[in-house]
Amino acid sequence: MTVDFFPFETKAGVTFKDKNLLRQAFTHRSYINEMRDFSVEHNERLEFLGDAVLELVVTDYLFHKYPKKPEGELTSYRSSLVNSQTLSSIAATLEMGEYLLLSRGEAKDKGRGRQYILANTFEAVIGALYLDQGYEAAREFLERHVLPLIDDIIAKGAFIDAKSRFQEKAQEIASVTPSYKTLREVGPDHSKKFTVGVFLGSELVAEGEGESKQEAEQNAARVGLQEKGWL
């Protein structure tokens, strides 16, 4: 399958020297499983690399931007910038979904699964850019598309730890300490998706999904705050 990545490069403000790296960044494992003779690897190794580059760039930026902030608050800021919801939103703005190489089955999923694929692809693009042009190019890309979001996130209070907020409200209003239970685990060991429920006693308040149990718990708490009107 031939994909013209030029519109994406134009929108993202990057020009890859090695177009195969960019193609790999957009290639999902499911596509490889369906197209056995495809000459490019899937994007999981690039995603692994891009995740580390993203964490470093964001951490360095926040460390210097907020010299008076304690470690805990900086961690919350960073989490709000690098979580799958934020990254998939940026990927959608860049119309990355138009270039994904997916199996026919994955291509039909327009729900939560697509959000994780977009977030992972965004990280893979970072990894590909790092390999193609180095750290500075990756940092400049993130300076354009990720770092400017922090001011709006702080203004809206979106960085506040959802689990802590939900626990405070549950104890204050319902006199109950919430509990979390893993409801489902799907996918291979290297790429699991978790669904976690947040409970008040025996009442299932909400469910959340994530690539780790911690992320799924945060998402469950975030939905729970909405369900209870505790935002």
Q: Which of 44, 47, 51, 106 is catalytic?
A: 51
Catalytic residue selected from 106, 123, 132, 215:
123
**57, 73 Cβ separation under 8 angstroms:** no
Quickly list H helices, the chain. 6-12, 19-25, 29-34, 44-65, 71-82, 84-93, 104-108, 112-133, 135-145, 150-156, 162-169, 213-228
Within 13 Å, how many C-alpha atoms sit on residue 91's CB side?
28
Residues 6+ apart with CB under 8 A from 3: 23, 26, 99, 101
Phi and psi of 69, rounded to 5°? -80, 140
Which residues on adjacent β-strands are paired with residue 186? 193
Q: Let me know if 123 is a catalytic residue.
A: yes
Alpha-carbon distances, residue 116 vs 55, 98, 128, 207 (angstroms): 17, 15, 18, 16
User: Beta-carbon neighbour count of residue 69 at 10 Å?
Assistant: 14
Active-site residue 51, yes or no? yes
Q: At what angle do helices 44-65 and 112-133 cross, to 10 degrees?
A: 80
Instruction: List active site positions.
Output: 51, 123
